[in-house]
Every structure is written in C-alpha cells, then in structure tokens.
Structure 1
Amino acid sequence: MRLHTRPAVATASLAAVLMVLAGCGGESEGTDTTTSASSSTTYDDEYAYAEAKKVDAKFQAHDGSKPLPTDTEWATDSFIKGYNEEVQAQNDAGVVEKGKVTITGTHPAESRPDAPGGWDLTMYQCSVSTIRYFKDGVDVTVRQEDPSEPLPKGPHDNVHLLSFTSPDDGKTWQLDESQYLYGDRAEEAPCDE
C-alpha cells in the first residue's frame, strides 16, 4: 500500500475512509515554487530536499500491507496514525492491492525554514501507477478525485504534494502529509520538466 500513490477503492465506507486519509492531514494552501535558506540554521534547502527524498525512498520501500511501526523515525505521529488506520480499514474490508508505483521524479515546491512550529518543506512527487484493488476477486478501483467513477485500466500518471517537517531545525526530516493532486493543480506541477 502506498498512501500517496494509490487510487481509491469502490466500497462506500472504505472509499470514504481512504479519501479522508489520502491527504493524511488535509488540503494545503497554494504552493510556492521558490525556496529560501534560513540564516538561523547550518542546513540549507539543498540538504533538506536531499534528506526528504531519502525519507520518501524509505516510505516507498515499506511493505504496504503492513502498518508502520509507531516508533518510525522518518514519519510524524499523525502520518503514522492515518496510514495505519488506512491499512487496517483496507485489511478489514478484505481488499487486496496489486500492481506497482514507479516514481518518475521529485521537484522542490516550497521551503519555509521559519515556519511556526519549525522548518517545513513540500515537494512534488511524479509517478506512474498500475495499482489496482480487488475484493473477492472483483476490481473495485475508482478515481481518487471522484469515487463514483471506476478508474480505467492501464498505467496512470499521478502527482502528489509531499509535506515534510524537521524536529531539529533541518538536521533530520519526517514525512508529515501526502496530498493527491488532480486537475489544474496536477497540470501545474513540474512533472514534465
């Protein structure tokens, strides 16, 4: 299971849970494609984005049918909670995931070293997914942006906005949120660069 790269599942209650949790934190306000470095830290944006990519690689390597350990250092408590609730809901519903996600690129979005609560940053993640969901052998995969519509078969390009936070002024980073983008927001992402 890849929370930030998955389509939705066509089971009314499960689809609702998955749609609520797919963002793992809710909508983000607009993003800025500029970055800045804080004068109060020894770490810069280049280092921060490199560390965020390492965090995402760890998440992609995680077995999606299993919950994240509660002591996972590279994810915030709220991300772990939301992810684990989704895994449990999918398992309880008897839904099986098949397919894979291939990350085709990541691009910096916004870095805020002086954000309230500590430095945070966002980056676009571009991917191609063949993930499908099956319940009792029936394909129940639907569009994330419209769970009333089945997702056509075949590979699909996806764009997600990943949010990271640093508990120690930029030294280490944690995945905090993953938001599926569609429509104009997806088209404006720099995936074709």
Structure 2
Amino acid sequence: MIAKEVGLARATVQGIVRHFHRTGWIHSNKSSGRSRLKSTQEIVEFMKFRLLQRPSLTANEIRMSLLRENICVQESLSSMRMVHHIIKSDLNYSFKKISQTPTEQVTERNMERILQYIDTVSQLDSQTLHFCGETGMKRTTSNRNYGQRAVEFQRYASDVNFTVNLLHNARGVSNFNILGDPSNGLEMLNIF
C-alpha cells in the first residue's frame, strides 16, 4: 500500500522498512558512489573542440584535459565509459577518428575555392556529373587456400599489384579499368 501511495517499487519500500527496523534510521549511511560527470553543454563543447584539434585522443586523455583546463574537478570527473558515452551520444561519433583536416586545407583562399566549386556544381544537373576515383589493389598468396583468392586493400600501399580506376555518378559506377601498373595521365584520359 505504501509503495503505491508514494510511487516507489515494492522492493524499495521493503528495503527501507527493513533498514528502519534494524537501525532505527530511515536514511542509509552508505554512499551511493562518487558523483559522475553530467553531459553539460560546456563539457560537450570542450570535448568537441579537443577532438577536432586531435581526433586520436583517448578517453583518458580527454578526462585529464577536463581536469587540466578546470572544466571539472576531481570529485566530479567521469569514468572513461561516461566519456565514451558523451562522444557517442552527444557528439554522434560512431568510431574513433584517426585523421584531421590539414591546416593548409582551411586557408581563406581554399575556402573561397571550395565555396566557388559548390556554387558551380549546384547549378549543374546531378545526373550529368561524373567523379573519378583511384585505388591500389594487392593480390596476396597465402599458405592455405580455402577456395577463394585473397585480395587486400591498403591505404597508401607502395607494393600494389593492380590499380583500379573508377568513373562514377549518381547512379553508380559508369566506367572502370584495372591496370597492372600505376596509373598515369594517359590512362586517366582513356577512362574518360
């Protein structure tokens, strides 16, 4: 009856009553643990700023920078789990970023050129736009063969076996070629 009246779970009320019968006190002397950091706007903005500066920061490094910059104090410093939660929930990062925008890319001149490009492209029919991409592919051989040959893709690999050029548009890949050597200007003209 008490649980329904105060809106608590029955087990909670039973625990309070048992504790009162044992000790004569309603409140427990037990600490509920140290207070945890809440996701305040200041903390979220600070973490966003730090991750933009250096995307490879670990949760522990972020925690230590929160202390160093006096964003929070030791008593309210959160666990690494809470930092991960803020990064995922408040900043919408689904994976750890491992690269950052080069500073020369965001110069005033380059930003003007980017805006000019966006303005020009936005006036074109998206169905007529084509983009070209290139990647290296390495065929590997292994000691064990499970019925399929292995293909390994590496970023910035210097020992690739093939070069794949793709010409794609809004509908998908419109043309491609696979070269046994590195690509060059003539091969790029051929794909167009």
Q: TM-score, normalised by structure 2?
A: 0.20
* Structure with the larger strand share: 1
Larger RCO of the pair (alpha carbons < 8 Å, separation 6+): 1
Task: Flag the structure with larger Rg.
Answer: 2
Taking structure 1 as the reference length, the TM-score comes to 0.20
